[in-house]
Structure 1
């Protein structure tokens, strides 16, 4: 998770983790908790946060998210790229300090 592509993969799998959490999987709940904590700690702009929410949590396409945000699909993609970099920085920090679910620690 300590790179932007890993974060995007995790975000793409968000609905699967929500489903697994609803089935009582404790590990899925921990992954979701860490993801939300990382997002909070990443110091995202409002637009970056909105792009992540619309595309990954509300399952809109980047085109649909862009229409809702009043921007182009390319701009949505850039917001997501920058946000994923910032979130990856949090996971990278956690990995170096034995924190977060992926390292078996708690943050």
Structure 2
């Protein structure tokens, strides 16, 4: 699924990630999706794309995160992410709250 906008480096990165995922037993379609999402997120972090989500630019890199928050339900967001959401929503007392309290206050 390499894109025209991708550089040679990003094409190599895509192939490497896709092959690694397939070696771990991931289906080819899922491996392609993982590789494309990872490359696109890296492009956004480096300012190579036209659009970038806040998590693409402010969160840890996809390689470092490595699925730490996938399939983890309510534990998906970090305390820092919850705190930032609470700050945007103007939740009083947020700095003294635990992660569980922040989750309750911020909601989904």
Normalised to the residue count of structure 2, the TM-score between the two structures is 0.31
Structure with bigger gyration radius: 2
Relative contact order, CA 8 A, sep 6+: which one is greater?
A: 1
TM-score normalised to structure 1 length:
0.31
Q: Which has the higher helix share?
A: 1
